[in-house]
């Protein structure tokens, strides 16, 4: 029986985690959920810690301060490797990623190594985003595909499933990026190592509660990261 871990980073997501945790767990009896909390002032970590004492399928990593999305996922990936999970998900806390899609990912990964939830297959599948952010996201993926040669239509999406073998093959200590660039870097390194990447269509719903963590710094990081990946790939240092 496959062991599945869904990793959800949080910072001030108390109201969302109260709903997202049961919604995720009910999708499959083999799912555990790992919350990686960056010392949320709204006590998200306290709530999850109390819940984990009642439900062994709920796990928690508490960090001392806000350290960013990428490092949260790296902490989760290392946890997954250490605890012998078979499939590992990245997922947002705010229901922009629909928990009901989880089983579609698990079906798709039977003949793949990485499954990406794509907002840009079969048209544009994004709800309630302002046009400026939609265009930024879409053209960031086009830009990434042109510069790196990564053969995916949604390089910056954050709803993913990995076989554990992929995470074991990538040197996680060398992943330093966050935000958009973290998603690009992980997929690009999996691609360069010859793993099978598959995209499936999802509908992305903008959060209705809480505050987005997007910033200009995250966008700038992504712009330069794709060039770093291309150059490192060319000179064999990836």
Q: Mean per-residue pLDDT for 39-66? A: 97
Structure-token pair, residue 109? 């990964």
The whole-angstrom separation of Cα 55 and Cα 51 is 6
Q: Mean per-residue pLDDT for 55-59? A: 98
Q: Mean per-residue pLDDT for 80-95? A: 97
Q: What global pTM score does this model have?
A: 0.85
CATH assignment of 4-234, among 3.40.50.10680, 3.90.550.10, 3.40.50.800, 3.20.20.80: 3.90.550.10
* Higher-confidence position of 134 and 18: 18
With a cut of 70, say whether residue 229 has pLDDT above it. Answer: no
- What is the residue-wise DSSP string for the chain? ---EEEEEEESS-HHHHHHHHHHHHTT-TTEEEEEEE---TT-HHHHHHHHHHH-TTEEEEE-SS---HHHHHHHHHHHHHHTT-SEEEE--SSSSS-GGGHHHHHHHGGG-SEEEEESSSSS--EES--HHHHHHHHHHHHHHHHHH----S-TT---EEEEHHHHHHS-GGG----HHHHHHHHHHHHHHTT--EEEEE--EE--SSS-----HHHHHHHHHHHHHHHHHHHTT--
**pLDDT value of position 236:** 62
- C-alpha angle 114-187-143 in degrees, rounded to nearest 5: 130
- Residue range 110-134, pLDDT digits in tens: 999 999 998 888 766 666 666 676 6
**pLDDT value of position 144:** 74
The whole-angstrom separation of Cα 161 and Cα 220 is 26
Cα within 13 Å of Cα(57), Cβ side: 17
**pLDDT value of position 91:** 96
With a cut of 60, say whether residue 71 has pLDDT above it. Answer: yes
Between β-strands 31-37 and 58-62, what pairing exists: parallel, antiparallel or unpaired? parallel
Give the domain ranges of the chain: 4-234
With a cut of 90, say whether residue 9 has pLDDT above it. Answer: yes
- Residue range 139-182, pLDDT digits in tens: 777 777 777 778 888 888 899 999 999 999 999 999 878 777 89
């Amino acid at each position: 029986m496959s062991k599945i871990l869904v990793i959800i980073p949080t910072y001030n997501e108390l109201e969302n985690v109260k709903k997202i945790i049961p919604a995720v767990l009910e999708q499959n009896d083999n799912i555990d959920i790992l919350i990686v909390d960056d010392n949320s002032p709204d006590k998200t970590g306290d709530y999850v810690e109390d819940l984990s004492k009642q439900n062994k399928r709920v796990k928690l990593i508490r960090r001392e301060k806000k350290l960013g999305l990428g490092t949260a996922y790296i902490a989760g990936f290392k946890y997954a490797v250490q605890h012998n999970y078979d499939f590992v998900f990245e997922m947002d806390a705010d229901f922009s990623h629909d928990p009901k899609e989880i089983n579609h990912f698990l079906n798709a990964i039977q003949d793949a190594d990485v499954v990406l939830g794509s907002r840009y297959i079969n048209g544009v599948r994004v709800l309630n985003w302002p046009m400026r952010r939609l265009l930024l996201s879409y053209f960031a993926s086009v830009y990434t595909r042109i510069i790196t040669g990564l053969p995916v239509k949604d390089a910056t999406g954050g709803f993913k499933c990995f076989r554990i073998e992929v995470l074991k093959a990538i040197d996680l200590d060398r992943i330093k990026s966050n935000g958009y660039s973290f998603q690009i870097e992980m997929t690009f390194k999996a691609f360069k190592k010859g793993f099978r990447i598959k995209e499936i269509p999802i509908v992305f719903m903008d959060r209705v509660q809480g505050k987005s963590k997007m910033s200009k710094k995250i966008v700038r990081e992504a712009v330069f990261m794709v060039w770093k990946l291309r150059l490192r790939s060319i000179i064999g240092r990836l």
